[in-house]
Structure 1
C-alpha cells in the first residue's frame, strides 16, 4: 500500500493522470465462503501476490 501511494504521488507531481479504484468487499467476505472467493479469483487469473493478499486478508 505504501508503494502504491508513493507511485501515485510521484505520478501526480509529474502531471500524469492517476486513477484509483477503491472497493469495499466487507459484506462479500462475510457472506461467501473464503474458499469460493479464492477459487473465483484464480478463475479470473488473479494469482501471485494479489491472490496472497486476499488469502492473508481472509485468514
Structure 2
C-alpha cells in the first residue's frame, strides 16, 4: 500500500449512526471531509451493516 503522506486518523466515535447502527449520510460526509483535508489513511469505526445479533456484547 502506498499512501500520499503519513497522516493517519484513528477510529473515533461520531454518534452519526442511525437508530439501528446503520451507516448514515453524515458518516460518509464525516470521512469524506477528512480524506479531502489530506488524511493519508482513515481507520473507520465499526458500523452495523446488518441487524444486530440479540446476544452480542456491546462495550
TM-score (normalizing by structure 2): 0.38
Q: Which has the higher helix share?
A: 1
Larger radius of gyration: 1
Q: Which has the higher contact order (CA 8 A, sep 6+)?
A: 2
